[in-house]
Structure 1
Amino acid sequence: MSVEFEKLTAGKLNPGAIVPQGLDNQWAPTNALRRMIKQAKPLISWKGRKKAVLSEWRRALIYAPQVVVNRVALFNNSIVVDDYSGNDKKNFQELLRRKVIVDYLLTEESPDQRPTFEIGDEKWNRWMDVIQDTKLACVRLDWGKQEDDFKNIAAVFHSYVQNLNMPDRTEHLTNAFRIPKRHREAFRKKLIEVASYTFDIASQGKNVVRNELYKKFVCVDNSKIDDGYYDKNKPFAAELKEIFDLRYTVNVPDAFGRYAFTPKGSPDRTVLGDVNQATMQNLLRDNRVKDFIDSLKRMQFAILNDALYLKGLDILSLADVLTIRNTDEWEQYTQSLNSLLRHPMEFAEKIDDVATRFNKLNRKITDMKIANTKKSAGELVSRLQPNMMIVVAIGGALMQLMLDPTDASRILVQTLSGPVSIGLAPIAINLRISASEYVDLGISVNFMRSKVNNGREIWREVQGALKDDPHFKFLEEQDLGIARDADQSKKEIDWNEVLG
């Protein structure tokens, strides 16, 4: 008996569809990663891994309208597998029916076609039991020939890494990762070394893949990549790993023209200083730059009151997820988010509504869980102060805008200046809402990805316009403590192999 399913193309995905980076088998938040490297402990020994991945999985299912999951995660990620192996099986099936979870097929023609990678009979039979009586949605890059798509994905990843030696990219990454001045030259030389290694791979007629970069620059020699033995004796192993991971995990969402869902405690895609040409929105034509600057000056930051919120989303079941997605608060938040994604140039009028709706949703989630659990409220909640931030990246320069915690009428601006091309330059804008890096209730939305002519001139124009407006206060080095108060948050696909 064949399985009933709907074939989706990229254009049929929800405008706010995401691919969760937290399901990547190498993911770890920055603090945990640095601690593992310092203590010479592998990823497989990280005690907080299950809780962290489960939290990210729940965040994706609650805060995103639609979640695209690759087959490796569906079969091999223990958190995802647990959801359809136990009491939540029927709820997992309902999420499939509603097209909340979409199965990303690599080369398979249907969800009941066994994948090309190794998978045991037990895992396969368990999956077949889930989809046998469940109509689900599946997506591919193309339901015909995909060779050119695979080549493009491989080439984009390779090209980014091979160009790490370019001065603008080097300086951008140096600023984004806040490399101390005394280490900047060493970091620059390491990026040049990575680029040179990648060029050597290209000279063999191949594209570099993440595992090769791991072996050379991140992992202990002769160790198993999947075990995650990251080498503290390899300079900048943490920074390089996060660069490789981020570029790797935005490959698929970029190819679909959708969004990577950034895990809490991890860098978002503005760190890359690169916007894939395929995902650029032709928004900021020369005659619209003034509109963009005016929008920056007019935007209102929602004042999010401190209140009791859940400490973590990992305590939620899939039944809870379905209940949450049926609430008016979830519907209103999703409509607001999709409106921002569809009309990013109207962000001045929309970002505060997204933040307000998001906050109301979190209050609803908290109240629902308290009412439906036997645990005391003190075990489940903490009093938190949510905050929102806008991050603007133009070429190699970054600007962070956040509400002044001491004066709600003023917006603080912190810049990390890097090189910006005098010609065409990418621009990306993120909305971040968070309460604490230790709490799950936060999102990072890359709602604008475009390009501008005369990038350097535009960067200077943006800075000048905001500096001339008393509504904005630019922070000096000694003021960075204020910024920290305002922002309290804080299996690999080998495309060469796919192509044969």
Structure 2
Amino acid sequence: MTDLDDDQDRVARVRPAQLAPGAVIAQSLDNQWVSAELTRRMIARGQSLRDVADQRGKEVRAEYFRSLINTRQVVMNRVFFYNNPAVARDLLVDGPARDAHRRLLADGALVPYLLGEHEPTDRPGSVDLDEDAFRAWQDTVAGMAATDRLTCVRLSWDDRENVRDTRSALFNPFAARVQGLTAKDIPLLASQVGVEEARVPGFAERIGEIVQFSNEQSVRHGSVTRNVLYERFVTRQGYPISDGRYDSGKPFAGEVKQLIDLIYNVNLADALGMYPLTPLGSLRRVALQEWRDVRTAAPTDAVRDPEQLVRFLQRQAFSAVQDRLTPAAVDSLALDDIRRLRETSAWDGYMREFEALTRDPSGFADGIGGIFDRYVTLNGEILRLASERRGVPASVWDPVIEVVVTIGGAVFTAVSGNELWSVVGALGATANGSFGGSVQLALRNRQAGRREQKFARELAPVRLDGEREWNQFLDLVRRLPEYRERRGGLAATSSATVQEIEEIQEY
């Protein structure tokens, strides 16, 4: 599975295609990630990331654990291991947490993405580092067992190829996505980022300014990066971007930040050939209106049959499950508990069921019940571990499966579980001549709450051939019992020498 130059090399150097099937980029581990709600509050109150560190830290920590619970392999920008306090806290002191982190690295559960470095402990250029956490990261890696190898991924391990591939797979597509924003359905985009109808003209003007600035940067051979756009349109002047001080005087700073962050994380996931794992409360990929290429996948992987799409939304029969667990119990766990959870048969069974469904989405009707049962069993293990650690009591658990089908600007959501079932359609714009989207599966607790266990993953891309297939699908959906429909989009709240090699700018 690995490209190793030397059997004694402690680093397993892989390319993206060698990652585990279903590997994800977790957006919440981005050290600039803030939920849309918290971003608005920060701007209104003039707060920085430091001012909301406690609340944000809890949210990021929970998403970090949930990404490890719900996927085999999580790929992280190498900087996030030491610049994200929710991750770095496990490295700062010798003990069970650091040991668990080492085990997850050795198992390939956590994979650093290296931009241009050869070693995971190399100091990245042009990045403000948390020096204590960076030294702790270096110590953690140095303390791994002699027989362990740390899996790291790079676009290419040939330096010249890596410079070329990084430019073509990361920087150019990022600029192209930004520069293509004015070609979107702006009223639909505005509704998805939460802009009120009366402010849509101002929002459209601001999007035009961002695109114009980006175009001018490209013409002058300047950089079009997230930091450059942050400085101009999001953050306060005179403060480091890492402070996270968003300027209320810059029009639509919060909405622009959410949009830029989505493009940034989707772009990296596409470059590595995997799905972005978008946390609850963040802008979803559907906002980018990429109807022709919602996921980097071969056309044969796409769902094209309108009747098959309807089957994703049809009612599934599930047994009522009561008195099982409180998913928020995961918040009381430590990293070592997560490591132990990943070694249980319940976790392995859940992964195998999910991976089987991802490989063959057409088997949804037969396979979804197995995933549901495995999910409940897995959460029983979470409760057991939480009870061992802090005596967290059991309470009523109402598991729900939610299927989301997006086609163009339309979103259809089916919810079922514990005899509850409903289908809701929100009809936004659809692109002429192109009806693409995706099927996403979410597992969650029906009991509302900000800290609930909710995990969503895309199962398959959708590419209907045209308007006839779209109308066929819509007609079939409208015949489903309990179907409700509304107009408008939903808020989308995923061997050369060093001197001869061009330095890669921080992405």
- Between 2-11 and 143-152, report the one with greater CA deviation: 2-11
- Give the deviation of 1:318 after TM superposition: 2.2
Instruction: Find the counterpart in structure 1 of residue 14 from structure 2.
Output: 8
CA distance in 2: counterparts of 1:14 and 1:126, whole angstroms: 27
Contact 1:55 1:440 in 2 (8 A): no
Instruction: Find the counterpart in structure 2 of residue 432 from structure 1.
Output: 442
Q: 1:63 to 1:181 in 2, by over 3 A?
A: same
Alignment partner of 2:459 out of 444, 447, 461: 447
Instruction: Find the counterpart in structure 1 of residue 69 from structure 2.
Output: 62
TM-score (norm 1): 0.85
Q: 1:285 to 1:449 in 2, by over 3 A?
A: closer
Contact 2:194 2:255 in 1 (8 A): no
Q: 1:166 to 1:437 in 2, by over 3 A?
A: farther
Contact 1:302 1:353 in 2 (8 A): no
CA distance in 2: counterparts of 1:249 and 1:77, whole angstroms: 16
- Between 157-166 and 227-236, report the one with greater CA deviation: 227-236
Contact 2:437 2:461 in 1 (8 A): yes
Does residue 386 of structure 1 match 2:399? yes
- Give the deviation of 1:312 after TM superposition: 4.6
Does residue 464 of structure 1 match 2:472? no
Q: Deviation string for 1:417-449 (max 9, x for gaps)?
A: 12x222234312221222344224110102223
Instruction: Find the counterpart in structure 2 of residue 75 from structure 1.
Output: 82
| Partner secondary structure for residue 26 of structure 1 | coil
Contact 1:428 1:449 in 2 (8 A): yes
Alignment partner of 2:151 out of 123, 134, 137: 137
CA distance in 2: counterparts of 1:302 and 1:228, whole angstroms: 45
Aligned residue identity for 1:355: F
- Give the deviation of 1:393 after TM superposition: 1.9
Q: Deviation string for 1:102-136 (max 9, x for gaps)?
A: 12222223335444455558346424433463322
Aligned residue identity for 1:402: V
CA distance in 2: counterparts of 1:167 and 1:355, whole angstroms: 37
CA distance in 1: counterparts of 2:283 and 2:100, whole angstroms: 32
Q: 1:330 to 1:185 in 2, by over 3 A?
A: same
Q: How do residues 261-340 of structure 1 correspond to structure 2 at under 5 angstroms?
A: 261-274=277-290, 276=293, 279-283=296-300, 288-296=304-312, 298=314, 300=316, 302=318, 305=321, 307=323, 308-340=325-357
Does residue 356 of structure 1 match 2:373? yes
- Between 127-136 and 211-220, report the one with greater CA deviation: 127-136
Q: 1:65 to 1:327 in 2, by over 3 A?
A: same
Alignment partner of 1:498 out of 484, 500, 504: 504
Instruction: Find the counterpart in structure 2 of residue 108 from structure 1.
Output: 117
Contact 1:217 1:234 in 2 (8 A): yes
TM-score (norm 2): 0.84
- Between 384-393 and 34-43, report the one with greater CA deviation: 384-393
- Give the deviation of 1:309 after TM superposition: 0.7
Aligned residue identity for 2:220: Q
Aligned length: 475
- Give the deviation of 1:303 after TM superposition: 6.1
Alignment partner of 1:417 out of 402, 406, 428: 428
Aligned residue identity for 2:414: L
Q: 1:292 to 1:146 in 2, by over 3 A?
A: farther
CA distance in 2: counterparts of 1:167 and 1:174, whole angstroms: 10
- Between 271-280 and 130-139, report the one with greater CA deviation: 271-280
Aligned residue identity for 1:461: Q
Q: 1:294 to 1:173 in 2, by over 3 A?
A: same
Q: Deviation string for 1:154-174 (max 9, x for gaps)?
A: 121111111111143x24323
CA distance in 1: counterparts of 2:187 and 2:241, whole angstroms: 29
What CA RMSD, in Å, does the superposition of the two structures yield over aligned residues?
Answer: 3.1
Instruction: Find the counterpart in structure 2 of residue 493 from structure 1.
Output: none
Contact 2:321 2:399 in 1 (8 A): yes
Q: How do residues 194-205 of structure 1 correspond to structure 2 at under 5 angstroms?
A: 194-205=210-221
Contact 1:5 1:135 in 2 (8 A): yes
Alignment partner of 2:179 out of 139, 150, 162: 162
- Unpaired runs of 5+ residues, structure 2, are 1-5, 494-501
